[in-house]
Chains A and B, each alone.
Chain A
């Protein structure tokens, strides 16, 4: 971090602390009022290097080196740019933003592509570098509270190239501040193919204890030079090398409770297990059979639930990930000394596999979206990726299922947190047997002996 950006950060903090929400008092306002907004170069006058720095983040590259997932090449970068899995059976490369073939029913086309969730303009796309890329960063999508989303749409320019629009008005640039929840949700809310599809992710005062306190995403995901800290969701690999956890000393530490019994559990049980008792979003998709929607386009058959409707599955997790064509999920065990019991949403997706190699194949959505022909999508993706004999691969491709474990790290509750009897009663939420406890241990762990006295005392106090 440069000295300048350190002072910047300090000043920014002071600002945020003294004025409720710094929006509107951005010191650059006057200058922007005078000379307008010309893109990042305007910001660079006072925040030099921010655009260049941004190009080296997951948000620009949609990829990074990944060290905790098995079977990967440590020299390669992985992410939405190039992964193949079954939440979205493609990636930025095979599903590059384009106009899909016209619907045979309506004669209409539309734009579709994964890289719409990228703060570039598509001409400077995921992972691009150089001066043009620096000039293309959409600073305002994350920093403006007055962004006109009618501008943020794909269109074709004079040369016939597909461009992702941005709001570059002075009006939007005059409403600069630290990113709000809404700024982040521009892309995060509809990840996975629609609102609350990927992970039942709402962040409102009704659904999250931190939102109820007025906290925003970046209060926890404190970015440094636009590198954003993340966690170890087995499904979401790319990271900027920074990590955030509930027990960081700047947050809650490892002994957050007055009650020593609860603190003792933190050695073996992740905070999320007790504090995020529900999850949601899609739990199954079929990419081999697409459904026609009322507008006569097609989309993958999807079963979903609301934000808080799904009971999680609990597994030991040590932060490393098993990764096979049919399974992506947590590794860990009761015995390794590093794992904690952690909640997950299980998602299962059906897609095509390569008959020869058993590998999961990816799909270009353009053709299936237009007429439901999913094998045509496999063919197009196989060609884009330069696989040998793409026709043969697509023709012989075999449908199969992949199971993915999704981390469950938001929707935090205090009042509904799991308490003694939620786990230690015989009908408790944990399946002690699956978690590797012996019959003898289970007998003990499901006896009121463990909590009788405590809960009786509490009952007395409560009444």
Chain B
């Protein structure tokens, strides 16, 4: 029954983050922004972390985002994401760093 219950709870509670990202960040602390990348800094092919500086479209402020997820790091490495790209980003402030939770190119149809 344990399984059936957990399945039911999941189904009932529906759109939960556990399902999407496996991240347990509480939604409240997340900051959302759209901005253009002005700089990407990554230390080589095996780097496990990188920073990207985004210019916030609304405030024109520069925001430094720390990126740790493999998929986005890979896109920095093979240049699928480059300076000048516009990004939709969600980040969370952890130990003074803006750690990216979502980092996606905006794109039209």
Contacts and interface: CB of A to CB of B under 8 A. Distances in A.
A299 B108 contact: yes
A298 B1 CA distance: 51
Contact of B10 (A194, A307, A416): A416
Contacts of B79: 148-150
Contact of A148 (B8, B21, B78): B78
A317 interface: no
A441 to B, nearest CB: 22
A207 B58 CA distance: 33
Given A294-B57, A294-B86, A421-B8, A193 B3 contact: no
Interface in B54-109: 57-58, 71, 74, 78-80, 82, 86, 104-109
A308 B20 contact: yes
Contact of B109 (A193, A195, A204): A193
Chain A, interface SS category: loop
B109 A422 contact: no
Contacts of A218: none
Contact of B108 (A305, A369, A455): A369
B19 A308 contact: yes
A226 interface: no
Nearest to B19: A308
Contacts of B34: 294
A453 to B, nearest CB: 12
B1 A150 contact: no
Contact of A459 (B1, B74, B108): B1
B57 A204 contact: no
Contacts of A369: 108
B108 A190 contact: no
A174 B9 CA distance: 50
Contact of A182 (B7, B12, B14, B74): B74
A306 B20 contact: yes
A204 B109 CA distance: 24
B14 A311 contact: yes
Among A278, A310, A463, find the residue whose CB has the most chain B CB atoms closer than 10 A: A278
A421 B4 contact: yes
A330 interface: no
- Residue from the set B7, B10, B12 with the largest chain A CB neighbour count within 10 Å: B7
Contact of A149 (B1, B78, B106, B108): B78
A194 B104 contact: yes
Interface string B9-41: 011101100011110000000000010100000
Contact of B4 (A204, A306, A455): A455
A305 B34 CA distance: 17
Nearest to A417: B7
B6 to A, nearest CB: 8
Given A206-B21, A295-B86, A419-B7, A194 B78 contact: no
A144 to B, nearest CB: 10
A458 B1 contact: yes
Contact of B1 (A309, A365, A417, A462): A462
A297 interface: yes
A149 B21 CA distance: 26
Contacts of B22: 206
A458 B21 CA distance: 29
B2 A193 contact: no
B71 A204 contact: yes
A275 to B, nearest CB: 12
Nearest to A463: B2
B40 to A, nearest CB: 12
A127 B83 CA distance: 33
A422 to B, nearest CB: 6
Interface in A303-335: 305-311
A308 B82 CA distance: 28
B11 A422 contact: yes
B107 A190 contact: yes
A344 interface: no
B106 A194 contact: yes
B66 to A, nearest CB: 20
Contacts of A300: 108-109
B64 to A, nearest CB: 19
A307 B78 contact: no
B82 A150 contact: yes
A417 B7 CA distance: 8
A194 B88 CA distance: 11
Given A294-B58, A309-B14, A462-B1, 5 more contacts: A147-B78, A150-B79, A306-B15, A416-B19, A463-B1
7 contacts: A146-B78, A150-B82, A194-B107, A306-B20, A419-B4, A459-B1, A459-B4
Interface of A: 88-90, 112, 146-150, 182, 186, 190, 192-196, 204, 206-207, 277-278, 280, 285, 293-295, 297-300, 305-311, 365, 369, 415-422, 425, 427, 429, 455-456, 458-459, 462-463
Interface of B: 1-4, 7-8, 10-12, 14-15, 19-22, 34, 36, 57-58, 71, 74, 78-80, 82, 86, 104-109
